[in-house]
Structure formats: structure tokens, C-alpha cells
Amino acid sequence: MSELGRWPISCEIPVQWGEMDALNHVNHTVFIRWMETARMHYFIACGFTDLFDSEGIGPILAGLKVDYNAPVGFPDTVTVHTTVTRIGNASFEMGYRITSSAKGDEDVATGTVSGVVFDYNSDSSTPMPDSLRASILQLEATGSV
């Protein structure tokens, strides 16, 4: 089994009435915000946010793809599952699964994000620090750091 792709971080998010659009389902942009929330939980868990606070090195998004499998409505609670699926020299990819409790925990959307490790002090990409790589691998392996 791969060291990556084990879905160590999940967060439950209640659907808000204001997230509905004129067609009576959650607007597609909300799914992206839900993914962002799970991504930040992941970054906190692996220490990426601490690295940014201490050294100015953090993530920056390079690409995003979402596949919508089923509409979501109100009331509902979604669970956003996230994992790192690839680590490169200065880049990484994350996967997302969004499930709906109202639909029996069915996958209502899946997504991928391409990210870059970015030095905000020099305004350029930078290699992923070994300590961050190790922290991600530990989080993926055990669900905690």
C-alpha cells in the first residue's frame, strides 16, 4: 500500500441555507470552500501553517478540479475527507471526497488540488522541507503527527 492517499483528515460541515442557489441546491462554489476548510485542517495537522508562521514558507494553489456527482440540499451535513496523494520536490497533490449524510454518506463530489510550496519572503517556489515531508508521511500513516 502507498504511504500516501489514506484520508487521515475529515471534517463535518453543516450545510447553511444561504449556500443554496436559485435552483434549490448548494452552489458549486461552496464545494470548493468546503475543500478549502478541510485543506486548512490538514495543513494545521501536518505543521504547514506553523512553517508559514515561523519561516514564511507555505502552500499556494496551482490548480483545482472538482467532479460533482450529486446535488446537496438543506438541511444536510457533509463530511469532507482529504489526503495528500503525491509529493514532489516543491509540489504536492491532494485528493478530496465529499459525502452527504442525507444521502447515506454517498460521495457527492470528488476533487483534486495541485499545490506548490512557496516562499512568501522571496516570492518564489521552494523545495519542500524534509521536516514537512516527514510530517505529511507520518500523518498519512497514522492519522496524527
28 Cβ neighbours under 8 A, 6+ residues apart: 66, 68
Measured from the Cβ of residue 17, the count of other Cβ atoms closer than 10 Å reads 8
Measured distance CA(125)–CA(57) in Å, rounded: 9
pLDDT in tens, 74-95: 999 999 999 999 999 999 999 9
pTM above 0.85, yes or no: yes
Q: Say how far residue 48 (Cα) sits from the centre of its chain.
A: 13
pLDDT in tens, 117-145: 999 999 999 999 999 999 999 999 988 77
67 Cβ neighbours under 8 A, 6+ residues apart: 109, 110, 111
Measured distance CA(19)–CA(75) in Å, rounded: 11
Q: All domains of the chain, ordered by start, with CATH?
A: 9-142 (3.10.129.10)
